[in-house]
Structure 1
Amino acid sequence: MAQPHSHVFLGDRLVPADQATVGVASSAVLYGLSVYTVFPVLVEGGARHAFRLADHFRRLEESCKIIGIDRFAQEWDYARFEVGVRELVAANAPADDVFVRVSVHVVESIPGTRVRGCAIQVSMFVYDAVPIVPQDGMRLKSSPWRRIPDNAIPSRAKVNGAYVNSVLAKQDAIDSGYDDCVFLDGGGHVCELSAANIFLVRGGTLITPDVSCDILDGINRRTVLTLAREEGIPVRERTVDLTELYIADEVFVTGTSAGAAPVFEIDGRAVGAGIVGPVTTALRKRHAAALRGDTEHGWVTPLS
């Protein structure tokens, strides 16, 4: 189980990890009323850099706007965010790759079910970059739990309380002997995993559910789509049926904490030849290079 590193950024300063707390009467605790993002900090030869830092800040902004957490835009801008990240990473001085989780908590005490004008607190902490899914071939199970639709809890916002949905689905998969789940929507169409986007390859074309399919518009998802187009791989974003996964040549998933991980089995059916396919191999290589800063996209922010 991952643990936060020694220093945590909370509110406007660094504090020891065991002192970084949010009140039990806050909306964050009572209603799960927080939003978050997670990004990697890579360590190369003692230097550290963050991947797509500005995009992760933008996701926090957008999640707050969708949910109505208006105080974040009033109190935080990108410059302040980057300073906080730099202070946090410098204080913890990781020697290996880490993830940074940044949350915006609504900390108003017992306000009832409302959000506008409520006090907030921002937290940031560092933890070891341990993938949440196997990197050498995953086994997935379609979940009996349906993905929360965007008109119930918006999929574009990373809302902490919404992840109860993911916990139910992933725990069912684990209890059944699988690594993770495949979420379907109310109509039985493929959405995503518990915390990762999904791609399939058929006839050399890369296919993934589009952003209207009750999915998180993942930053790594966007990264892979960009890299695929640069590789000349045909790309289609559209509705995907579960049975398409069964007959796909290749399937893989993406996410900050998932990486770019291949899938070898879905609902007891082998995916393709049961090995990492050529499209997955090419995109994993490009994705790893992008994380390490070997591209010209401006995706890397040096931190030290």
Structure 2
Amino acid sequence: MAEPHPHVYYRDGLVPAKEATLSVATSAVLYGLSVYTVFPVHVDGATRTAFRLADHYRRLVESCRIIGIDSFEGEWSFDRFVSVAVELVSANAPASDVYVRATVHVDESIPGTRVRGCRTILSMFAYDAVPIVPQDGMRLKTSTWRRIPDFAIPSRAKVNGAYVNSVLAKQDAIDAGYDDAIFLDGAGHVCELSAANIFLVRGRTLITPDVSCDILDGINRRTLLTLAGEDGIRVVERTVDLTELYIADEVFVTGTSANVAPVVEVDGRIVGDGTQGPICEALRKRHASALRSDELHGWVTSLG
């Protein structure tokens, strides 16, 4: 289990981690009414860089818009968001890579099931960058739980309360001896994992569910699509049947806390030859490089 680093940004400044607490009566606690993003910070001595920070900030803004939080965007500019990230990372002075989780909490007490006009606060904390899935070959199980559809709780918004769906799926997979779960939508098409996007390879074609398939429009997903295109790999975004994973040459997943991780087994069926495939390997190397230094795309922001 990861622990937050000692200094946490909460409300209006840095506080000790144990003091960054919400009342049990807030909407964030009562209804899971918070939205969040997690971005990686690469540490190289005194140099610290965040990956696609503007996109992570934009995702917070868009998540707020989708569920009706109407105060965050006016109170938090991108420049202010960056300054807090710099302050947080500087205060904790990590010696190695970290993840930073930024969350907008609805901080009203017992307001009922509403969101507009409610007070919000921002929290931000850092923790060791330990991936949430195995990096040397994952075993996946199709979940008996279906992905929440966009017309119920939209996947484009990273809403804390919606992750009960992910917990149910992943715990079921773990209980069955697997590493993670594959979500299907109501029609039986592949969506994503409990907290990562999924890709498969057929021949030299890279295939992934499109953004209308009840998936998170992941920032690292977009990164891989860009890198694959630059490498001359044919990319197709469409609906994906579960059985396509059974006959794929490669399957792999991506996400901030997953990196790029190969899948070697799906529902007891070995993927390809049971090892990391060449397209996964190539994109994994390019992704790792982009996380650290990227002058071409402007994806890296210095945090001091």
Q: TM-score range by the shorter chain?
A: over 0.9
Matches within 5 A, 1:13-28: 13-28=13-28
- The aligned residue for residue 100 of structure 2 is 100
Q: Deviations over 1:84-135 (max 9, x none)?
A: 1110000001010000000000010000000000000100000000000000
Q: Which sections of structure 1, spanning at least 5 residues, go unmatched?
A: none
The alpha carbon displacement at 1:203 in A equals 1.0
State the secondary structure of the residue aligned to 2:139: strand
- The aligned residue for residue 275 of structure 2 is 275
Following the alignment from structure 1 to structure 2, what is the Cα–Cα distance between the partners of residues 92 and 136?
Answer: 30
- The aligned residue for residue 75 of structure 1 is 75
Q: Which sections of structure 2, spanning at least 5 residues, go unmatched?
A: none
State the secondary structure of the residue aligned to 2:263: strand
Bigger shift: residues 84-93 or 292-301: 292-301
Q: Deviations over 1:130-151 (max 9, x none)?
A: 0000000000000000000000
- The aligned residue for residue 231 of structure 1 is 231
The alpha carbon displacement at 1:11 in A equals 1.2
Matches within 5 A, 1:164-179: 164-179=164-179
- The aligned residue for residue 53 of structure 1 is 53
2:286 counterpart of 1:286: yes
Following the alignment from structure 1 to structure 2, what is the Cα–Cα distance between the partners of residues 289 and 194?
Answer: 26
2:198 counterpart of 1:198: yes
Bigger shift: residues 113-122 or 41-50: 41-50
- Contact 2:104 / 2:121 at 8 angstroms: preserved in 1? yes
The alpha carbon displacement at 1:45 in A equals 3.3
2:226 counterpart of 1:208: no
List, as ranges, runs of 4+ consecutive aligned residues in structure 1 with deviation greater than 6 Å: none
The alpha carbon displacement at 1:295 in A equals 4.6
TM-score (normalised: structure 2): 0.99
Q: Which amino acid aligns with 2:45?
A: G
The alpha carbon displacement at 1:233 in A equals 0.1
The alpha carbon displacement at 1:296 in A equals 1.2
State the secondary structure of the residue aligned to 2:162: helix
Matches within 5 A, 1:51-200: 51-200=51-200
- The aligned residue for residue 41 of structure 1 is 41
Q: Deviations over 1:46-101 (max 9, x none)?
A: 31100000000000000000000001012111011011111000000101000000
Q: Which amino acid aligns with 2:291?
A: L
State the secondary structure of the residue aligned to 1:139: strand
RMSD: 0.6
Q: Which amino acid aligns with 2:192?
A: E
- Contact 1:88 / 1:125 at 8 angstroms: preserved in 2? yes
Tell me how many residue pairs correspond in the alignment. Answer: 304
Following the alignment from structure 1 to structure 2, what is the Cα–Cα distance between the partners of residues 232 and 291?
Answer: 21
Q: Percent identity of the aligned residues?
A: 77
- Contact 1:254 / 1:260 at 8 angstroms: preserved in 2? yes
Following the alignment from structure 2 to structure 1, what is the Cα–Cα distance between the partners of residues 173 and 295?
Answer: 36
State the secondary structure of the residue aligned to 2:144: strand
- The aligned residue for residue 29 of structure 1 is 29
The alpha carbon displacement at 1:206 in A equals 0.2
Following the alignment from structure 1 to structure 2, what is the Cα–Cα distance between the partners of residues 82 and 73?
Answer: 14
- Contact 2:45 / 2:95 at 8 angstroms: preserved in 1? no
- The aligned residue for residue 246 of structure 2 is 246
Following the alignment from structure 1 to structure 2, what is the Cα–Cα distance between the partners of residues 189 and 12?
Answer: 44
TM-score (normalised: structure 1): 0.99
Following the alignment from structure 2 to structure 1, what is the Cα–Cα distance between the partners of residues 122 and 14?
Answer: 11
Bigger shift: residues 273-282 or 259-268: 273-282
- Contact 1:67 / 1:157 at 8 angstroms: preserved in 2? yes
- Contact 2:294 / 2:300 at 8 angstroms: preserved in 1? no
Following the alignment from structure 2 to structure 1, what is the Cα–Cα distance between the partners of residues 197 and 3?
Answer: 25
State the secondary structure of the residue aligned to 2:193: coil
State the secondary structure of the residue aligned to 2:39: strand
